[in-house]
Structures are given as structure tokens and as C-alpha cells.
Amino acid sequence: AEEQRFKDEL
Amino acid sequence: MNIFRLAGDLAHVFAIIILLLKIWKTRSCAGISGKSQILFALVYLTRYLDLFTTYVSLYNSVMKVLFLASSGATVYLMYVKFRATYDRNHDSFRIEFLLVPCLLLSLLINHEFTVMEVLWTFSIYLESVAILPQLFMVSKTGEAESITSHYLFALGSYRALYLLNWVYRYIVESHYDLIAIFAGIVQTILYCDFFYLYITKVLKGKKLQLPA
């Protein structure tokens, strides 16, 4: 699994 | 998009609408913490800076504008239009004790040391504690109007539903964001005792009375 910032979330 | 995130966003919108209606209909912001509302406005301002630079979807842009506009309107109603009804004495939480640690933590722990990323991280950390002045005010006054408790329930549910959304995205998309998850868990835990009181009291038609 990859750790990342969810850019599509509010 | 998944059902948990959609439900979370709708609970968030519902909370904001409840609050605006309460203030507008009763023409009073008694029992509401203006400091928490200032912190929420700051959360949206620092998180949605990319509103004009990054287009994700119509839904995403509309919701960002809605959150920015509604938080601004709430602060305006509380500190300008209905300022006479603002209970300054009970809204005494020192928000600098929240702002400074969140700022320092966002400089230390972030995904990328850039202005946008640090501000986004600051907004995530700040959002997790932004409700504290409101919960502090309810504990000081010892009670809350039922409309205020519905507002808090919807607001607390939004981030709890986001936790389910992150579990879903971890399972389905095998992606996760530890900063958002950690802050979201803290944020939801802060509501736990309120959730308990809400379910055991308010839903039974009683007033929300905190043990003084």
C-alpha cells in the first residue's frame, strides 16, 4: 500500500 | 468517491446549515463558540488555497466555495450582525494554544516541505482541535440548546465517516494518508463523550446537560 495525500478530498 | 465520503460531506454541509439556520432564525448566537468558528474559517482558508489552481471536479469546487462562504458568513453573523448576542464571557478558550502547536507540528510532520503542503497539513491538524473552544464553552455553560447539539452531532459524524472512507480507500485503492487519519482519529475522539451524551439524552428528548 502507498502512503499519499488524498488530493481529491475536501 | 465512495458512500462514506459522500455521507461525511453531506453531514458536514448539514452541520453548517443547521448552525446558520439557528443563528439566522433565532437572530442569536448564544451558546455558540465564535472562536471555533474562526478556527473553522481558518481551516478552510488554509486548505482550499488550491481552489483556483487545481480543478478536481465540479463537486469538489462547489463544496470548497460553500465551506469558505458559509464559514465566513457564520463569523460575520457572530461578530458583526448579532454581536450583541455573542457570549464572550463563556467563549474564553485561548486559541493560541491550538494555533501555535498545530503550526509547529505542520512544520515538523508533513508530506512535503512546501508552502501549500505545510498549510494543508496545518489545516488538517487545526481542524482536529477546532471544536475544543465549542466543547469547552458547552462544559462551562453546563448545557447546550438541542439545535446546538444536533449541529455538534452532525459535525462530529462527518469526520467519523471520513475515517470509514479512509478504511475503504485503503482496502479498495491501497492508498492511505497517515496525517489525515491520525488527525481524524483525534478529532473524532474529542466528540466521543458528546456522542454518548447526545445518544443517551438528546435523542430521548432531554436537554443536553453536562455534569458540571
For the stretch B5-17, pLDDT in tens is 999 999 999 999 9
Strands B143-144 and A2-3, bridge-based pairing? unpaired
Task: Report the mean per-residue pLDDT for chain B.
Answer: 96
What is this model's ipTM?
0.95
Give the closest-approach CA distance of A7 to chain B in angstroms: 8
Hey, CA dihedral for B121, B124, B125, B126, is it positive or negative? positive
Residues of chain B found within 8 Å of residue A5, distances taken between Cβ atoms: 111, 117, 120, 177, 179-180
Q: What is the tens place of the pLDDT at every residue in B142-180? A: 989 999 999 999 999 999 999 999 999 999 999 999 999
Give the 3-state secondary structure of residue B55: coil
Give the 3-state secondary structure of residue B96: helix
Give the burial string for B24-44 (b: 16+ CB within 10 Å, else e).
Answer: eeeebbebbbbbbbbbbbbbb
pLDDT beyond 90 at B203? no
